[in-house]
Structure 1
Amino acid sequence: MAGMFEEHRVPDRQIRAAQTDSTVRVYQACTPAVADAALEKQSFGTRGETVRLDPSFRLAAYDSGNGSKPGHERILAVDLTRAGFEWALAHRGPVLIQWDAERDLDHTPLNFQAIRIGLTGEAVDHYVDEWITAITDVTPVMRDISGLLATDRLHKAVKLVPHEPPYELPEDLARAVDATG
């Protein structure tokens, strides 16, 4: 029996993300002005700054306080090409990789880690110019979840969370981001 349970254990570090055959969804928290411009242009005008991306909806919700923290009032879902996402994972230097505890909807740390990606320099240029396929505002969903949790309706809140299956990493990328543990 022990072997059976071990096979289904979540790895200590795992990238989970909403994804299609050609895209991977990440979340970027920003100010209302940046969000409005990004939604209109379906791109970001930000260059020269570090761009922080979370593939995990729950980690993005935790970071932004469900859209309540100053400077993080809006949360945008940004669909990236898989090629761009994997380029980011493979290029340490202009890309900062960090692993933090994944969170549940109440922001309690879970027993495995989710990836956070910081883009700088040329990685920001690629992100803005090449990788983005769509930008959607998910702030209302995040706030709805927060409201449902505040009124003890976890069963309804859970239904609003996007499905984020494990992202299957090629072995070399798993090693590059230290996700092999």
Structure 2
Amino acid sequence: MPAYHEIRADYDRDTIVIYQAYRAEIADAAIAAGRFVAPFSFGRMTWIKPSFLWLMERSNWGRKSGQERTLAVRITREGWNSALSQGVLTSFHPQVHGTPNAWRTTFEGAKVHVQWDPERSLNGKKLEHRSIQVGLSRHVIAEFANEWTVELRDLTQMVGKIRRLRDEGHRDRAKQLLPPERVYNVDPLTASQLAMP
């Protein structure tokens, strides 16, 4: 049984995969360049998520307007860990922040926001445990795009195939195509600040 707050991801010794959904213009330019370039916005917060099924629910399996294209973004673990270490939760947790005012002050000055949302099943059902999403502010987006990003892959066709298999009742075949995800451990200080066990 997964822990309530637990990071699960596809990763190796040096890199970790996060998922994002974009409109075609942004995805095409990024894939062509091998990194994020205009019209990707470097001036607003971007949210990165290591849970494939959470993003599928959010983008309605690539059917939501402006989220038709699913990208797998492989970034350095060094960058991911840096983001997590700077992360401030988007809601007050007494055991982490002490007082609401202390949380508010920290949150307002944060360059990285962290939110825990219900993980999703293949059919979109809310599960009991949570999935992490990490919001990168404009202060760190250039670093994410230019220094952390190692590889971009377009998963749009695979998303469509998994969705069709699921909708046609072939759940087992659909599950076999899902990206692998396993527990990703973080250092004790980061775990404490992100309300992880």
1:78-122 CA-partner distances (Å, limit 9, x unpaired): 001000000100113111100000001101011100101111122
Question: What does 1:20-169 correspond to in 2, within 5 Å?
Answer: 20-45=12-37, 46-92=41-87, 93-169=110-186
Q: For the aligned residues, what is the CA RMSD?
A: 0.9
Q: Secondary structure at the match of 1:76?
A: strand
Are the aligned partners of 1:89 and 1:176 in contact in 2 as well (CA < 8 Å)? no
Q: Secondary structure at the match of 2:153?
A: strand
- Cα distance in structure 2, aligned partners of 1:166 and 1:157: 21
Are the aligned partners of 1:79 and 1:133 in contact in 2 as well (CA < 8 Å)? yes
1:17-64 CA-partner distances (Å, limit 9, x unpaired): 100100010001111110000101111123101111110000011111
Runs of 4+ displaced beyond 6 Å: none
Identity of matched residues, %: 31
- Cα distance in structure 2, aligned partners of 1:132 and 1:163: 20
Name the amino acid aligned to 1:41.
Answer: A
Unaligned runs of 5+ in 2: 88-109
Name the amino acid aligned to 1:102.
Answer: E
Q: TM-score by structure 1 length?
A: 0.92
Name the amino acid aligned to 2:167.
Answer: A
Residue 176 of structure 1: CA displacement?
Answer: 2.1
- Cα distance in structure 1, aligned partners of 2:65 and 2:196: 32
Q: TM-score by structure 2 length?
A: 0.85
Unaligned runs of 5+ in 1: 1-8
- Cα distance in structure 2, aligned partners of 1:85 and 1:67: 25
Alignment: residue pair count: 172
